[in-house]
Amino acid sequence: MNPTIRDVARRAGTSVTTVSNVLNGNLSQMNRVTYLRVIKAIEELGYSRNVVARSLVRGKTETIGLMVPDVSSPFFPEFIKAVELAAVEKGYQVFLCDCEVNAFTEERHLRAMHSRQVDGIIVMASKSAYKLHKNSYLYMLITTGFPVVMVFDPFPGVKTYGVFIDDVRGAKLATEHLIRQGYQCIGHVAGSSDSRSAIDRLKGFQQALREHGIRVDKSAIENGQYEIDGSYRATEKILSRNPRVRAIFVASDLMAIGAMRAIKRRGMRIPEDVAIVGYDDIHLVSFLEPPLTTIRVPTAKMGKMAVDILHQLIIGRPPRIKTNVLQPELVIRESCGALLNKKIGIKH
């Protein structure tokens, strides 16, 4: 007969609750002597045939945490799938948490992951890093050497292992493409001000304008908070304040959907009246009317790379390079006016 949790408790001289706390990683109120007695009892009784107990004996749970800002966003499924596939190949299961774009929810989930003794955590576009910074649980994990890989946004002021996109270059690609189509008054719907990717995309937009001798017009820039509704309102403000705007670079494809709706609600055509370029290349934007020109982000590659780096940290062989920056690429469809301009020779 296989030993039970009661057998372990009897052998260790503890309560069943104490053994359960060890198995579930609830160790905050437990002294080391008690913990070691329970682990010894697990080993002696062969209770390690239970997956959790075996993992504790080995010192690894073969589980990694994955923190994403918003699982309902169409941007994240490809990344999550890539992480899961790469994790399974290396023998890990993935503990997925949605922080709901909230720093305090992220904190709660990080504590839960850590208490359940995941072997490492991938954190995507962290909110606690910016809102709570050095008071955050994430900061404690990173600075105490716990395996953490940051994706999209680094932890400000702290050298972390991570996989990032060259968002300055991506935004310049988008803006320069519009400039090549002849547009001179270009608007920008920016992302959240507490997001490094949004800050870099705004920077790349402004750099492209300046490098081509075009004045940066602040009345043509508005924050859309990485939301469809926020982008709709931001686009309305830009077009109301500055009717000269004939092209808009939007910092995400999701926001581009809101921007396109706002343009059409004003009785304007895309791209004949206002051209638009997005960012991310999520699957659905090729089915919009018109199909969206955008900046493609290699999300699947980022997911696999994040798992590879985390695995190296877990097994004690940290990679030589901490910061891995991948390059985005321009995908030209119909919303930017390039295909129309090429066909009939329009200049704006």
Average pLDDT over residues 226-250: 97
Domain 167-297+330-344 in CATH 3.30.70.890: no
Q: CATH 3.40.50.2300: which residues of the chain?
A: 63-165+299-328, 167-297+330-344
Phi–psi pair at 176, nearest 5 degrees: -65, -30
Which pLDDT tens digit goes with each residue over 255-291? 999 999 999 999 999 999 999 999 999 999 999 999 9
Question: Taking residues 294-306, what's their average pLDDT?
Answer: 97
SS3 category, 157: coil
Q: What is the pLDDT of residue 281?
A: 97
CATH topology of domain 63-165+299-328: Rossmann fold (3.40.50)
Looking at 113-117, 245-249, 259-263, which range is the least confident one? 113-117
Cα-based distances in Å from 185 to 145, 178, 209, 312: 48, 10, 10, 48
pLDDT at 348: 39
The rounded distance, in Å, linking the Cα atoms of 132 and 269 is: 43
Residue 19 pLDDT grade (very low, low, confident, very high; cuts 50, 70, 90): confident
User: What are the respective helix, strand and coil percentages of the chain, to the nearest 5?
Assistant: 50, 15, 35
Domain ranges in the chain with CATH number 1.10.260: 5-58
Q: Report how far residue 99's alpha carbon sits from residue 340's, in angstroms, rounded to the nearest whole number.
A: 42
- Collect contacts of 239-246 with beta carbons under 8 A, ≥24 apart: 239/187, 239/263, 239/266, 239/268, 239/274, 242/185, 242/187, 242/217, 244/185, 245/185, 245/186, 245/187, 245/220, 245/274, 246/183, 246/185, 246/186, 246/273, 246/274, 246/275, 246/348
Identify which of 51, 52, 89, 158 has the alpha carbon closest to the alpha carbon of residue 148: 158
Query: What pLDDT score does 344 carry?
Result: 38
Q: Which of 123, 122, 159, 128 is nearest to 143 (CA)?
A: 159
Kindly report the length of the chain. 348
pLDDT at residue 3 in the model: 80
* Fold observed for domain 5-58: 434 Repressor (Amino-terminal Domain) (1.10.260)
Mean pLDDT to the nearest integer, 99-118? 90
Look at residue 345 in the predicted model and tell me its pLDDT.
40
Give the residue among 140, 200, 207 at the shortest CA–CA distance from 167.
200
Strand pairing of 120-124 and 148-151?
Answer: parallel
Cα–Cα distance between 151 and 194 in angstroms, integer? 15
State the pLDDT at residue 339: 67
Higher-pLDDT residue of 311, 31: 311
